[in-house]
Amino acid sequence: MYLAKIYVTYKPSILDPQGEVIKSALHRMDYAGVQTVTQGKYFEVKLQATDVDSATAETQSFTESLLINQNTETYRFDLSLVADEVDV
């Protein structure tokens, strides 16, 4: 089984209202060193696949078709092999 960790962020030109509000909050809380904040999404997906290549292809495919919005977001991901879990 593979574990895909997928990191989704806004494209640079897209307004990120959340990031701005969090940044101001950190400043009000006296974390003065904070320069920029962006908030994105983080997915962990476990999937069965015959090999890394097919796991990679599958992750890419479902990320692009469902997890992200290609108009506004970009992503990257890591894949690792993990032990099959036995559901109890």
Partner 1 sequence: MRAAVISFPGSNCDFDMLYALQDFGVDAQIISAKTNDLTNFDAIFLPGGFSYGDYLRTGAIARFSPIMSAVTQAANEGKIIVGICNGFQILTEAGLLPGQLLMNKNPGFICDEVLLTIANPDTAYTNTYNANEKILIPIAHGEGNYYADEATLDQLENNHQVVFRYADNPNGSARDIAGIMNEQGNVFGMMPHPERAVDPITGNIDGQGFFKSILSAILTKVTA
Partner 2 sequence: MTKVSKEMSPEQVRDSKIYLDWSLTQEEYELIVATLDRLPNFTETGIFSGMWSEHVSYKKSKPILKKFWSQNERVLQGPGEGAGILDIGDGQAVVFKAESHNHPSFVEPYEGAATGIGGILRDIFSMGAQPIAALDSLRFGELNNPRTRHLVDGIIAGIAGYGNAIGIPTVGGEIAFDDVYAGNPLVNVMAVGLMEKTAMQVGQAKGVGNSVIYVGAKTGRDGINGASFASAEFSSTHESDRSAVQVGDPFLEKLVMDTTLQAVREYADIIVGIQDMGAAGLLSSSSEMASKAGQGMTLNLDLVPQRETNMTPYELMLSESQERMLFVVKRGEEQAIIDLFETNDLDAVIIGEVTDNEQFILEFDGEIVADVPIDFLTHAPKQDLPMAVPARIKELSSKQYLPDMSDLKKTVLSLIAQPTIASKAALFRHFDSMVRADTVIKPGGDAALIRVRGTQKALAMTTDVNARYLYLDPLKGAQMAVAEAARNIVATGALPIGITDGLNFGSPDNPEVYYELDQAVSGINIMAKQLNTPIISGNVSLYNETDGRAIYPTPMIGMVGLLEDVTKATTIDFKNAGDVIYLIGETEASFNGSEIQKMQTGSIGGQLFDIDPTAELKSQRLVLEGIDQKLFASVHDLSEGGLIVSLLESSFAGNLSFQVTTNWLSHYLFSETPSRFLVSVPADKMSYFEELGGQYVTKLGLVTSDDDWQITTATETLAGSRAETKKIYQESISWQLKA
80 binds, among its own copies, partner 2, partner 1, none (CB under 5 to 8 A by kind): none
Contacts of residue 20, defined as CB under 8 A and 6 or more positions apart, other chains included, come to 37
81 binds, among partner 1, partner 2, its own copies, none (CB under 5 to 8 A by kind): none
User: Does 9 help bind its own copies (rule: CB under 8 A)?
Assistant: yes
Residue 5 and residue 41 in contact, taking contact as beta carbons nearer than 8 Å:
no
User: Does 74 help bind partner 2 (rule: CB under 8 A)?
Assistant: no
Q: Which of residues 19-78 bind partner 1 (CB under 8 A)?
A: 21-22, 25, 28-29, 39, 66-67, 69, 71-72
Backbone conformation region of residue 80, classed left if phi is above 0, alpha if psi is from -120 to 50, else beta: beta
Size of site (CB under 8 A) for partner 2? 12
User: Does 85 help bind its own copies (rule: CB under 8 A)?
Assistant: yes
The letter for the amino acid at 37 is V
Q: Specify the 3-state DSSP secondary structure of 30.
A: coil
Rounded to whole angstroms, the Cα distance separating 42 from 77 reads: 10
User: Does 83 help bind partner 2 (rule: CB under 8 A)?
Assistant: no
